[in-house]
Amino acid sequence: MGRIVSSVKIDNLSDSTKSLRCDALVDTGASYMILPSAWRDRLGDLEEIETLELQTATQETATGFICGPVRIQIEGFRPIYNEVCFVDMKTDNGTYEALIGYIVLEQCQAAVDMLGHRLIHVKRMDLK
């Protein structure tokens, strides 16, 4: 399976001076937009909405902090207004890897093209 990485811009809706841009791994096994806790200050003072217990791909548990509201825009797709989940992460060679989960993908009408290893635009949303 190939890796799909997309550029994402995240803005704090209550403070327009606070935003971040990063490359994030598309992970359909994740639900939220997952960011490392180390980046939390870059988005300024976001409301902490909920604390969640999460399960990682390696079956470990982690604590996630749901914060928002934010504006999320995956490059090439329409922006959405949602929340992000901050998680304490270990670095890989000194860099963190943000994750784009399925909730964000569905909201911005992005789908995974398994053959082309890219995101494609969903033309129609389901009503059923």
In SS3 terms, 43-96 reads as HCCCEEEEEEEEECCCCCEEEEEEEEEEEEEECCCCCEEEEEEEECCCCECCEC
What is the tens place of the pLDDT at every residue in 23-71? 999 999 999 999 999 999 999 999 999 999 999 888 999 999 999 999 9
Q: Cβ distance 9 to 61 under 8 Å?
A: no
Strands 61-74 and 5-12: antiparallel
* In the chain, domain spans: 5-121
- Stated pTM of the model: 0.93
Q: Cβ distance 44 to 17 under 8 Å?
A: yes
5 membership: H or E segment, kind and range = strand 5-12
- How many angstroms separate the CA atoms of 84 and 33, rounded? 5
112: pLDDT strictly greater than 70: yes
The CATH number fitting domain 5-121, selected from 2.120.10.30, 2.40.70.10, 2.40.50.100, 3.40.50.300: 2.40.70.10
Q: Would you state the pLDDT for residue 59?
A: 92
- How many angstroms separate the CA atoms of 54 and 75, rounded? 27
